[in-house]
Structures are given as C-alpha cells and as structure tokens.
Amino acid sequence: MSKTYETIFENNKKWIAEKLGEDADFFNKLAEGQKPEYLYIGCSDSRATAEELMGLKPGEVFVHRNIANVVNTLDMNSTAVIEYAVRHLKVKHIIVCGHYGCGGVKAAMTPDDLGLLNPWLRLIRDVYRIHQKELDAIEDEQQRYNRLVELNVQEQCINIIKMASVQERYIVDDYPIVHGWVFDMKTGELLDLNIDFEEVLKDIQKVYDLTNSEWVMSRTNNKNVH
Ligand SMILES: [Zn+2]
C-alpha cells in the first residue's frame, strides 16, 4: 500500500490529537527529557522497527539502527551511541536485535562486489569466518543463513562488551546487561537467543579486559533482582 508524502503530515496531526487525548501533558513530559532503560541496536530494515515491536513509547528506548545491526570499534556512529547510552543515560539493558531474512547478512554470504558496502559487509563475513566450522556443517542454506543472523547478533554483543565504558560501568553497577535477540518477521515474534555471556566471555575476557579487575557479565542480573 503506497502512501503519499502528504499522508505523513496528516498522520502526524492525528497522532498528536491521539496522544493529547490520552494525556494532555504528553508533549510537556516528552520535552522535559529522556531517561530510557533500554538501548536497542537493530537493523535499518523498514520491517524491523524498534518501539513498535517492543510495545514501548517515546522516551522508553534509545535506538541505533544500521545495516545488519553491526557494532564496530572503528564506527564512530554506533560507538558514540553506546558510549552516550552507557555513561550518560545509564541504560540498564543493551539489546542487539537481528532479524531472519536480513538482506545485509544475505549479501555477506554472496560473492558480489557491492562497492561501498563491501567493508561493512566484510564485518559479517568475519563473523562467518569465526564460526565457519559450525556454519559450513549446516547443509540447508536457509538454516545456515538463519544461523549466521544469530551468530552475527552474538558477535555484535561481544563487540559491545569489548568497550571500556561498558566494562567499567558493569563493575560498579552490575549493569548494563547485554541481550541478543532475533526478530522473526514471519511470525512477528521476538526471540531471546539466551546467549550465555559467562560462558562466551570465559575465554575471551583476558584478551579484551580493559579494567584489570574481575568482572563477569551475566545474561540476567541476579544481584539486583528484588
Ligand atoms: Zn537486516
């Protein structure tokens, strides 16, 4: 269903009326500032939205999206978003959400020269190389593709944990907790990959530790459950 450009502004007027109908102070509160508990890092794919699929309202989630939900040390965009979310907004949860049917992941499995996209997609090819044994053992191409979507989420979660701001804050607060999710657009479901970070980090921590102190990043925060 195609919509005209003007429709967007009509929609906006309807949205304002709807929000004011629910709460006359809605925009006053919104303008006061933000204190989101979540940072969501997802794919730019137009079908994999952030707030809508999580049922969250404006002000509840800080969002970063790019092709295939990649977090890379040399990408100032994603690292600045994480740095701000962790050090200043002090989010409690960081979510990396991939999605099955991801065009970026598919392109990284295809022998094609995509110009400027090559170095970006190479980051996903690197994920394939790290997990090549497991992926090559999957005969069904669709299943292999789905698994690369999941492993890409896992590796991007690890890239977040490599950051000093995340490690330092975790030692002090036991937060942020990093989560890996996949959105299945065929069903609409959000799937928690339940990545066992304690296990994942056991071997890599000594390589990536920037704090020179003991820290264990768990999937759930047991110490602060009330
Ligand atoms: Zn995608």
Q: Looking at the structure, tell me whether residues 140 and 150 fall in a common domain.
A: yes
Q: Looking at the structure, tell me whether residues 2 and 78 fall in a common domain.
A: no
Q: Looking at the structure, tell me whether residues 202 and 216 fall in a common domain.
A: yes
The type of residue at 168 is E
Check whether 226 has a pLDDT greater than 50.
no
Give the closest residue to 108 by CA, choosing from 98, 118, 96, 97.
Answer: 118
pLDDT band, residue 224 (cuts 50/70/90): very low
CA 44 to ligand 1 center in whole angstroms: 6
Q: Looking at the structure, tell me whether residues 21 and 49 fall in a common domain.
A: no
pTM for the structure as a whole: 0.92
Residue ranges with CB less than 5 Å from ion ligand 1: 43, 45, 102, 104
Q: Looking at the structure, tell me whether residues 23 and 43 fall in a common domain.
A: no
**Domain count across the chain:** 2
CA 33 to ligand 1 center in whole angstroms: 30
Residue span of the structural domain in which 3 resides: 1-32
Q: Looking at the structure, tell me whether residues 14 and 70 fall in a common domain.
A: no
Q: 18-46, pLDDT tens digit by residue?
A: 999 999 999 999 999 999 999 999 999 99
Kindly give, in sequence order, each residue whose CB lies less than 8 Å from that of residue 122, ignoring residues fewer than 6 positions away: 108
Check whether 219 has a pLDDT greater than 70.
no
CA 98 to ligand 1 center in whole angstroms: 7
Q: Looking at the structure, tell me whether residues 40 and 93 fall in a common domain.
A: yes
Q: Looking at the structure, tell me whether residues 112 and 97 fall in a common domain.
A: yes
CATH number at residue 167: 3.40.1050.10
Q: Looking at the structure, tell me whether residues 91 and 146 fall in a common domain.
A: yes
